[in-house]
Amino acid sequence: MLDQTAIAETLGAHYDLAPSPEAAERQSDIYARMSRVLSPADWAIHAPYVEAINRLKAERNAVILAHNYMTPDIYHGIADVVGDSLQLAIEATKVEADVIVQCGVHFMAETSKILNPSKTVLIPDMEAGCSLAESITPEGIAEMRRRYPGAPVVTYVNTSAEVKAASDICCTSSNAAQIVAGLDAETVIMTPDKYLAQNVARQVPQKNIVWYDGSCIVHERFTAQELKDFRDWQPDTRIIAHPECPPDVVAEADFSGSTSGIIDYVTREQPEKALLVTECSMASNISDALPGIEFVGPCNMCPYMKKITLEKVLWSLHSMEGAVEVDAQVAEGARQAVQRMIDMSRRLSA
């Protein structure tokens, strides 16, 4: 792998990437989707990359699947599909193009590869990890099974393929409660996110839910006290929290849901002010489409998601480096756990 300076030099030799008001103007329709959050000067810097990526994407017969936490230049500029973890996994199964570029973190790229193995799946930065995925190994799953014999293991998709393969079924933040409630067992093991498990335990009191000790470094930093203080200061603000937040934080919120659940909620409710207790790009990405809403209050950056940049996406399409591979046996085990989730989620929502 080349270093960043070498990448910039190589790309500069192949593409015209200097800031360009002309490229910005040519793509003013794209800019219109993010003009509230990106200055014209910044757009003139990003526009040559967006143009080069979209051209190269067509040449390579590639599609870009982007998570809701990508920055607006990626989310609005180059993505073919945007969504939460569940939506991106489902979309990955439908891709007919030769190449998938996953703008998100490594477990998302791995999930796409598992669900659509004949495709080349590229991740623009192999180090785009996730604190939850790093918190657990297959041995952690085995230890939980020893402690709670016979209990099914529901594993969050934010995990490696090996961990998924060692589990019975996966879940995402949008279907976790539904999956747990639908299992024919009194005790259910949830890994690795203890806060997601505790939030599901409140929603599904009929189950005895036990959990592993993982957490998201982005969402665990929010506190109930900061939300209470904010509500005292701005009582007319709608507070919306991701279920990876601790349960006392979720209890302070008016709504909790996956990243796409959050987008659907604010789009439907159109509050005058909204505090999204989640990653910072969420509010930036939806701000132009929802001009009547003022997004206020604190947010936290995910250092892993922010490793994905336009320059790295262009590099991965140019070099075709960063292909995700999964051992065939592991992939099959993981595929079954993810597919069970998709099937059960579909059945229960029908």
- Whose tokens are 């190269």? That residue is 56
DSSP assignment of 155-184, as one string? Answer: EESSS-HHHHHTSSEEE-TTTHHHHHHHSS
By CB under 6 A, which span of 143-151, 211-219, 225-233, 246-254 interacts with ligand SF4?
211-219
**Strand-pair category, 187-191 with 208-211:** parallel
Interaction of residue 68 with ligand 13P, rule CB under 6 A: yes
Q: What is the Cα 264 distance to its own chain's centre?
A: 16
Q: Which of 66, 130, 171, 330 binds ligand SF4 (CB under 6 A)?
A: 130
Q: How far is the CB of 303 from ligand SF4 (least distance, A)?
A: 8
Residue 131 binds: one of ligand SF4, ligand 13P, none (C-beta under 5 to 8 A by kind) = ligand SF4
Distance (Å, rounded) from C-alpha 103 to C-alpha 64?
7
CA angle 338, 117, 152 (to 5 degrees): 20
Asked if 329 and 308 count as a contact pair (C-beta separation under 8 A), the reply is no
Helix count (H) and strand count (E) of the chain? 18, 12
| Site map (CB under 6 A) of ligand 13P, residues 80-109, x = contact | ----xx------------------------
Q: At closest approach, how far in Å is the CB of 165 from ligand SF4?
A: 20
Q: Which residue of 53, 305, 308, 341 would you call a contact of ligand SF4, by CB under 6 A?
A: 305
Choose from ligand SF4, ligand 13P, none: what does 315 bind? Cβ within 5-8 Å by kind.
Answer: none
User: Which one of ligand 13P, ligand SF4, none interacts with residue 304, CB within 5 to 8 A by kind?
Assistant: ligand SF4
Residue type, 335: R
**Positions of E strands within 79-171:** 81-83, 99-103, 120-122, 153-156, 169-171
Return the structure tokens found at 72: 């607006």
Annotated binding residue 280: no
Per CB under 6 A, does 258 bind ligand 13P? yes
Taking the C-alpha atoms of residue 262 and residue 282, their distance in angstroms, rounded to an integer, is 9
* 90 near ligand SF4 (CB under 6 A): no
Q: Which entry of ligand SF4, ligand 13P, none binds 172, CB below 5 to 8 A by partner kind? A: ligand 13P
Q: Nearer to ligand 13P by C-beta: 84 or 168?
A: 84
- 163 is a contact residue toward ligand SF4 (CB under 6 A): no
- Residue 205: DSSP 8-state: T
**Between the CA of residue 214 and those of 17, 74, 75, 193, what are the distances in Å?**
41, 29, 28, 5
**Closer residue to ligand SF4 (CB): 131 or 256:** 131
Rounded least distance, CB 250 to ligand 13P, Å: 13
Contact positions with ligand 13P (CB under 6 A) in 187-246 = 216, 244
Q: Which residues contact ligand 13P by CB under 6 A?
A: 68, 84-85, 158, 172-173, 216, 244, 258-259
Which residues make up the interface to ligand SF4 (CB under 6 A)?
A: 105, 130-132, 158, 216-218, 244, 279, 302, 304-305
